Amino acid sequence: MTPTRWFSGRGVGVLVLAAVIAGCAAAPTSEPARVMKEGDFKMLAGHWTGKTDVQGELSAEIEGIIQENGSFWIADRRPNATQFPGTMKIVDGGVQYDSAKSEGKMTFHEGSTSWTWNWQGVTKDGGRRVSNQLTKSK
């Protein structure tokens, strides 16, 4: 193999590997959603961090706290941010939520070292799409 051909083949391999790694890092949670049952909020209680994506707004870093009874709050991750409360309820193994700003469905996914908390909902002030994703270490 000539040096030029070897280099171009190696360069393509490096680019493909980089694309695969970047795609895996950006991929959504691959673990199936947990089928929720009574008492699961106790296991999920605690501090969560992640991002919010509300249609028509810039994505923002957020944090939240889940209580053992399924109540929660969410706030931007900045000093003195307003906390927006909400409640979750288990319905047929899934989670429905109602918060101060939006309502919809949530899923929880268990990974080997962390949990992922996904939201799919709509805003109460005009039906814009809400898609939040937060994580918590085990």
- Sketch the domain layout of the chain as residue ranges: 1-30, 40-137
Q: What is the pLDDT of residue 30?
A: 76
Residues in CB range of 64: below 8 A, 6 or more apart: 47, 48, 49, 50, 72, 73, 74, 75, 117, 134
Instruction: Classify domain 40-137 by CATH architecture.
Output: Beta Barrel (2.40)
Q: What is the pTM of this model?
A: 0.77
Low-confidence ranges of the chain (pLDDT < 50): 6-7, 11-27
Per-residue pLDDT at 117 = 98
pLDDT of residue 130: 97
